[in-house]
Amino acid sequence: MIRRLLVLSLIFAAGCRQFVYEPQQARSPYPFQLPSGPTERIQAFSDGVTLEVVNATGRSYRDFDLWVNQRYSRFVNRLDAGQTIRLPLNGFWDHLGEGPDTGGFFAAKAPTPIALVQIQVDEVAPLVGLISVPNAAETP
């Protein structure tokens, strides 16, 4: 009985974490100095845990940073024309080493809504906008 209570306490404590913080994962700050470029026919869907990116264009992207909400980013090796990729949201980090809330059964907070998704191909080119499709739970 005591062992069961201890295990349940540990699970509950792990789920009550206020935010994801790993300083060693810190990335560059959002490039506010870059202009926003065109919005491409690339859709981004989030279920709170995973970001699914569907490239409906004829253009491939290689070695780029994918930005979420002008805060969190991750490096992506490739997104080919017509390809769909699935990226865990726990792989996105901000400049402080904080990650988005991903929700889950024991989560104390709802998942971070994904409102803006952009591709940064280099240090000077305009950011490429993606079509962010709201999660059904996020719409009124």
Q: Write out 19-75 in H/E/C secondary structure.
A: CEECHHHCCCCCCCCCCEEEEEEEEEEECCCEEEEEECCCCCEEEEEEEECCCEEEE
Quote the pLDDT of residue 137: 63
Q: For 12, phi and psi rounded to 5 degrees? A: -65, -45
The secondary element (H helix, E strand) that includes residue 131 is strand 127-133
Quote the pLDDT of residue 81: 98
Average pLDDT over residues 95-118: 87
State the pLDDT confidence band at 3, using cuts at 50, 70 and 90.
low
pLDDT of 140 > 70? The answer is no
Average pLDDT over residues 14-41: 84
Neighbours of 63 (CB within 10 A): 10
Give the angle subtended at the CA of 45 by the CAs of 99 and 59, to the nearest 5°: 105
Quote the pLDDT of residue 63: 98
Q: Which two tokens stand for residue 139?
A: 């719409």
List, for residues 62-72, the tens digit of each pLDDT value.
Answer: 999 999 999 99
The Cα 13–Cα 20 span in angstroms is: 14
pLDDT over 90, % of the chain: 69
Strand order of the β-sheet with 36-46 is 72-79, 61-68, 117-120, 127-133, 36-46, 50-55, 84-88
**Single-letter amino acid, residue 131:** I
- For residue 79, what are the domain limits? 2-138
Average pLDDT over residues 87-96: 96
What is the number of domains present in the chain?
Answer: 1
Instruction: Give Cβ neighbours of residue 88 (< 8 Å, ≥ 6 apart).
Output: 49, 50, 51
Average pLDDT taken over every residue of the chain? 87
